[in-house]
């Protein structure tokens, strides 16, 4: 961390009356916060700033508050695994610097080298279905193995499964959060956040102590998409914040992908909307890798292999797969399964019991639901 340079950036983000998009445009024009703040007062006036804004930028007002906030940030950055990465730093992600409104300063906890990976965004609904969670985990694992570094937002549902899939494959992942770097939201993801710090990084543009204001999350979405070569929406309803991330990715001239789902599921409508708007339909990780020009042999039989392991070697896996394939994630009646498999009642009952015991099927309200 270059403390002298960071002081200028901490002053910038403390100047809350000046919108970040304006600060970003000024940084692009003048190159650094130091160069910007050393401009003569007349130049600021020519640029359209009022006297209050000029005083904030030139550190002639709110000095006590600024010093306190700066001290807190510098003390935080002095601890192990904590970093302040400013716009002009060599560690600042190059793709992020290209967007219309790059954050002037990043608070990073974890591995600084994680910022330099080939990032791919994977996002989706907080209220994800089992179908969505399974696909998010599978996609994240395969894309990570292919050399793409998954970035997401540490939210419940799809985001969490994306991070877990990357971590479980032994790769790094980045979580862009909508709070100050000193807190985790939602709190139930604290253990996941700790894993990410050990194998990747938490990233925030918000000053330390910033609570999870609702307006923070749409704002941080531009960072998720801005870091990445492309964005995949795995599952989302039509009003999901994930569609904001997808829209931002399109505006940033990045590829957008979407996973289709059951037509009756509200959590699929956002993805279907994106596909209608031109997002690339994804059935397997290879669809993304081919589009990005990444050569990798994906695992195409993961589901069958998982089923075989869960059922055990002593089971008649072939016939039980027949029963399993007759059950979908929306639920099937016993009679419909029997008609599809052409099994008698005793045989089908036996197989359904084994499938439930293996955690591949759930019975509820007279219907059987597939869980894999």
CATH number of the domain enclosing 317: 1.10.10.10
CB distance 54 to 41 below 8 Å:
yes
pLDDT at 308 over 70: no
Question: Number of folded domains in the chain?
Answer: 3
Residues 6 or more apart whose CB falls under 8 angstroms from that of 314 comprise: none
Question: Is the separation of the CB atoms in 198 and 121 below 8 Å?
Answer: no
Is the separation of the CB atoms in 129 and 235 below 8 Å? Answer: yes
Residues 84, 157 within the same domain: no
Does residue 148 sit in the same domain as residue 263? yes
Statement: residue 347 has pLDDT above 60: yes
Give CA–CA dist 322/53, Å, rounded. 69
Mean of the pLDDT values across residues 102-127? 96
CA angle 247, 248, 249 (to 5 degrees): 90
Please report whether residue 271 resides in a domain. Answer: yes
- Residue 78, judged by CB atoms within 10 A of its CB (0-12, 13-18, 19+), counts as exposed
Instruction: Look up the CATH number of the domain holding residue 234.
Output: 3.40.50.450
Q: Of 62-66, 250-254, 263-267, 359-363, which range is least confident?
A: 62-66
Q: Above 50 in pLDDT, residue 243?
A: yes
Q: Which band of pLDDT confidence, cut at 50, 70 and 90, is reported for residue 62?
A: low
Both 335 and 359 in a single domain?
yes
- 22 and 100 both lie in a single domain: yes
Note the pLDDT tens digit of each residue in 122-132: 999 999 988 89
Helices (H), 41-129: 41-46, 51-57, 63-77, 94-97
Question: What are the distances in angstroms from CA 257 to CA 139, 225, 237, 307?
Answer: 12, 12, 15, 28
Average pLDDT over residues 217-244: 96
More confident residue, 108 or 324: 108
User: Which pLDDT value is given to residue 301?
Assistant: 44
222: left (phi over 0), alpha (psi -120 to 50) or beta: alpha
In a domain, 102, yes or no: yes
Query: Does one domain contain both 268 and 336?
Result: no
Q: Do 198 and 264 fall into the same domain? A: yes
pLDDT at res. 9: 87
User: What per-residue confidence (pLDDT) applies to 68?
Assistant: 81
Per-residue pLDDT tens for 138-151? Answer: 999 999 999 999 99
- The encoded tokens of residue 58 equal 């030139």
pLDDT of residue 198: 97
- pLDDT of 200 strictly over 70: yes
pLDDT of residue 59: 61
The confidence score (pLDDT) of residue 296 equals: 64
Q: What is the mean pLDDT of residues 314-333?
A: 67
Residues 268 and 340 in one domain: no
CA proximity to 103, closest of 224, 189, 194:
224
HSE-CB at 65 with a 13 A cutoff on CA atoms is: 11
207-237 as b/e, with b when 16 or more CB fall inside 10 Å? bbebebeeebbebbbbbbbbbbbbbbbbbbb
Picking from 259, 274, 292, the residue at the C-terminal end of a domain is: 292
pLDDT beyond 70 at 303: no
Do strands 200-204 and 228-233 pair parallel, antiparallel, or not at all (unpaired)?
unpaired
Per-residue model confidence as pLDDT tens digits over 159-190? 999 999 999 999 999 999 999 999 999 999 99
Report yes or no on 78 lying in a domain.
yes
Q: pLDDT value at position 311?
A: 59
Query: What is the length of the chain?
Result: 372
Of 243, 260, 292, the last residue of a domain is 292
Residue, of 239 and 303, whose pLDDT is higher: 239
In this predicted structure, what is the pLDDT of residue 339?
Answer: 76
For residue 317, being part of any structural domain is answered with yes
One domain, residues 284 and 316 = no
Percent of the residues in the chain that have a pLDDT greater than 70, as a whole number: 87
Residue ranges making up the domain that contains 41: 3-112
Quick check: 38 pLDDT over 80? yes
Q: Compute how many other C-beta atoms are within 10 angstroms of the C-beta atom of residue 153.
A: 28
Kindly indicate the confidence band of residue 265, based on its pLDDT and cuts at 50, 70 and 90.
confident
Residues 176 and 158 in one domain: yes
Structural domain contains residue 80 = yes
For residues 204 and 67, membership in a common domain is answered with: no
For residue 51, pLDDT beyond 90: no
Are 86 and 140 contained in the same domain? no
Domain-located, residue 297: no
Buried b (16+ CB within 10 A) or exposed e, 321-356: bbbbebbebebbeeeebbeebebeeeebebbbebbe
pLDDT digits (tens, 9 = 90+) for 64-98: 666 788 889 999 999 999 999 999 999 999 999 99
Q: Which of 251, 269, 292 is the last residue of a domain?
A: 292
Kind of pairing between the strands at 332-333 and 361-364: unpaired
In a domain, 206, yes or no: yes
pLDDT at residue number 314: 43
- 279 and 333 part of one domain: no
* Residue-level pLDDT at 224: 98
Question: Does residue 221 lie in a domain region?
Answer: yes
């Amino acid at each position: 961390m270059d403390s002298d340079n960071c002081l200028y950036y901490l002053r910038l983000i403390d100047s809350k009356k000046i919108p970040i998009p304006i600060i970003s445009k000024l940084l692009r024009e003048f190159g650094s916060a130091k160069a910007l703040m050393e401009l003569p007062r007349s130049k600021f006036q020519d640029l359209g700033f009022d006297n209050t804004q000029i005083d904030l930028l030139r550190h002639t007002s709110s000095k006590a508050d600024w010093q306190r906030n700066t001290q807190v940030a510098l003390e935080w950055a002095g601890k192990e695994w904590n970093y302040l990465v400013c716009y002009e730093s060599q560690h600042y992600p190059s793709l992020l610097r290209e967007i219309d409104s790059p954050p002037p300063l990043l608070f990073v906890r974890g591995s600084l080298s994680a910022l330099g990976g080939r990032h791919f965004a994977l996002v989706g609904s907080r209220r994800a279905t089992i179908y969505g969670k399974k696909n998010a985990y599978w996609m994240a694992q395969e894309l990570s193995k292919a050399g793409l570094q998954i970035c997401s937002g540490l939210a419940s549902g799809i985001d969490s499964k994306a991070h877990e899939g990357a971590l479980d494959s032994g790769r790094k992942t980045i979580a862009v959060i909508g709070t100050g770097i000193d807190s985790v939201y939602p709190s139930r993801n604290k253990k996941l956040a700790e894993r990410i710090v050990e194998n990747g990084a938490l990233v925030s543009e918000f000053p330390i102590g910033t609570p999870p204001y609702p307006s923070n999350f749409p704002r941080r979405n531009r960072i998720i998409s801005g870091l990445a070569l492309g964005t995949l929406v795995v599952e989302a309803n039509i009003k999901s914040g994930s569609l904001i991330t997808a829209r931002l990715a399109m505006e940033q001239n990045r590829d957008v992908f979407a996973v289709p789902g059951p037509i009756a599921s509200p959590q699929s409508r956002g993805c279907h909307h994106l596909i209608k708007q031109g997002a690339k339909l994804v059935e397997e990780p290879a669809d993304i890798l081919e589009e990005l020009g990444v050569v990798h042999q994906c695992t195409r039989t993961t589901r069958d292999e998982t089923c075989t392991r869960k059922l055990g070697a002593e089971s008649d896996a072939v016939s039980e797969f027949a029963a399993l394939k007759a059950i979908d994630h929306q639920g099937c009646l016993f009679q419909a399964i029997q008609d599809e498999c052409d099994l008698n009642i005793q045989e089908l009952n036996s197989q359904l019991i084994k499938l439930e015991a293996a955690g591949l099927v759930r019975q509820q309200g007279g219907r059987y639901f597939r869980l894999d």
